[in-house]
Amino acid sequence: MCHAPAECFRIPDRGYLDEGAYADLVVVDPDTSWTISKEELLYKCGWSPLEGDPVKGRIDQTYVNGQLVFDRGRIVSDKPGKRLVFTPLS
């Protein structure tokens, strides 16, 4: 889900947790069950076709460029991530 797209689209310093690379990662609790509700959606459109569906697994934290931006249901940073640079295919 990370390595192949970064390599396919030649995105430098992404897709790996290596020293000097950008740390973009998600921490997931695979055992938490919950029901998708409109109140918890962070989509710009404000709705989801999955509202009311029970699911297993929940995102606990999201890191962009090594910075915590989402923590247990709350956005904790308004700093945008670094813009991706794609190398043209030759």
Residue among 84, 2, 78, 83 nearest 42 (CA): 78
pLDDT at 23: 80
- ∠ CA 69-50-41, rounded to 5°: 30
- Stated pTM of the model: 0.75
Q: In which domain, by residue range, is 65 found?
A: 23-79
Residue 13 domain-assigned? no
Domain-embedded: residue 72:
yes
Number of structural domains the chain divides into: 1
Q: What is the mean pLDDT of each run of 10 residues along the chain (90 residues)?
A: 84 85 90 93 87 96 89 86 72
pLDDT at 67: 87
Does a structural domain hold residue 31?
Answer: yes
Helix (H, G, I), strand (E, B) or coil at 19: coil
